[in-house]
Amino acid sequence: MQRIEIIPWLAKELSIPVHIDAANLHVATSAFIGLALTLASVLAWRRLRRTDDNVIPSRKFAFATIFEITVEALLRLMEDIIGPKARRYLPLIGSLFIYILCCDLIGVVPGFVPPTSNINTNVACAVCVFLYYNYVGIKEQGFVDYLKHMSGPIIWLAPLMLTIELTSHLVRPISLSVRLFGNMVGDHVVLEIFSGLVPLFVPIAFMGLTIFVAFIQAFVFSLLSIVYIGLATQKEGH
């Protein structure tokens, strides 16, 4: 199995060879991003807990400012789709958006491969969304009413509608995973090809495209997750 050296300069300084299987590279990169986001969250929390100091936004770069802008934009979007109860679902959607965005953007850094170009990373995120929106749907409506919600208003069509709805629900995590996987793999491959053919100047344009695709894919994944939560928690009939 192919072995890849991670952070060679650190391994050289410590005189310790640090290697990882290529098949598990996405796990190491995901862990690195998770640790970095945890550290950034702690720094932002330490600043935001001092409410008197945050009345006027800081002019300096701060993680807290980035988190505030991101959370406010996501919350407005969620309230437009879900309604007043959107705030209770913000922790999951906010975490997903920031995590997926960082996973996408790290592919711009030379030597890093975006974890979202591995289907396993995307499946893990999609399954979390699948389990969560079904859980909140059952919690909001009750199990029986949740099934009635999927069965439609016409009793004699209920078996057909329930079958279609269940199939649609099972396809959703696959759709979320494959869409993100395909776009990130394609974008990363294009960036690598043009960087190899024309190493000067031209890759800059494709790096800009990569950043744009990263934002779009994180937004689409989060938007669909918001829609699924909204559909699962609404109490109106079809």
Over residues 184-214, the pLDDT tens digits come to 888 777 777 766 666 666 667 777 788 888 8
Confidence label for 174 from pLDDT (cuts 50, 70 and 90): very high
Higher pLDDT, 47 or 212: 212
* In-domain check, residue 203: yes
* In-domain check, residue 169: yes
**Type of residue at 31:** A
Cα–Cα distance between 208 and 159 in angstroms, integer? 49
Residue 89 pLDDT exceeds 90: yes
> Minimum mean pLDDT among 9-23, 121-135, 161-175: which range?
9-23
Residue 43 pLDDT exceeds 90: no
Q: Across residues 153-163, what is the average pLDDT?
A: 80
Q: What are the structure tokens assigned to 186, written together?
A: 């394609």
**Type of residue at 86:** A
155 φ, ψ to 5°?
Answer: -65, -45
pTM: predicted TM-score of the whole model, two decimal places: 0.80
Tell me how long the chain is. 238
- All residues at 6 or more sequence positions from 202 whose CB lies less than 8 Å from its CB, including other chains: 194, 195
Residue 36 pLDDT exceeds 50: yes
Residue ranges making up the domain that contains 55:
3-233
Q: What confidence score (pLDDT) does residue 131 get? A: 95
* In-domain check, residue 238: no
Q: What are the structure tokens assigned to 7, written together?
A: 């952070």
* In-domain check, residue 227: yes
Count of domains in the chain?
A: 1
Spell out the SS3 assignment of the chain: CCEEECCHHHHHHHCCCCEEEHHHHHHHHHHHHHHHHHHHHHHHHHHHCCHHHHCCCCCCCCHHHHHHHHHHHHHHHHHHHCCHHHHHHHHHHHHHHHHHHHHHHHHHCCCCCCHHHCHHHHHHHHHHHHHHHHHHHHHHHCHHHHHHHHHCCCHHHHHHHHHHHHHHHHHHHHHHHHHHHHHHHHHHHHHHHHHHHCCCCHHHHHHHHHHHHHHHHHHHHHHHHHHHHHHHHCCCCC
* In-domain check, residue 127: yes
Higher pLDDT, 159 or 14: 159
Q: What confidence score (pLDDT) does residue 3 get? A: 39
Cα–Cα distance between 81 and 177 in angstroms, integer? 22
Q: What confidence score (pLDDT) does residue 11 get? A: 40
Q: What confidence score (pLDDT) does residue 184 get? A: 86
* In-domain check, residue 64: yes
Instruction: Estimate to the nearest angstrom the gap between the alpha carbon of 120 and the chain centroid.
Output: 13
Residue 57 pLDDT exceeds 70: no
- The dihedral built from the CA positions of residue 32, 92, 217 and 72, taken in this order, carries a sign that is negative
Per residue in 99-145, pLDDT tens?
A: 999 998 888 887 778 899 889 999 999 999 999 999 999 998 888 88
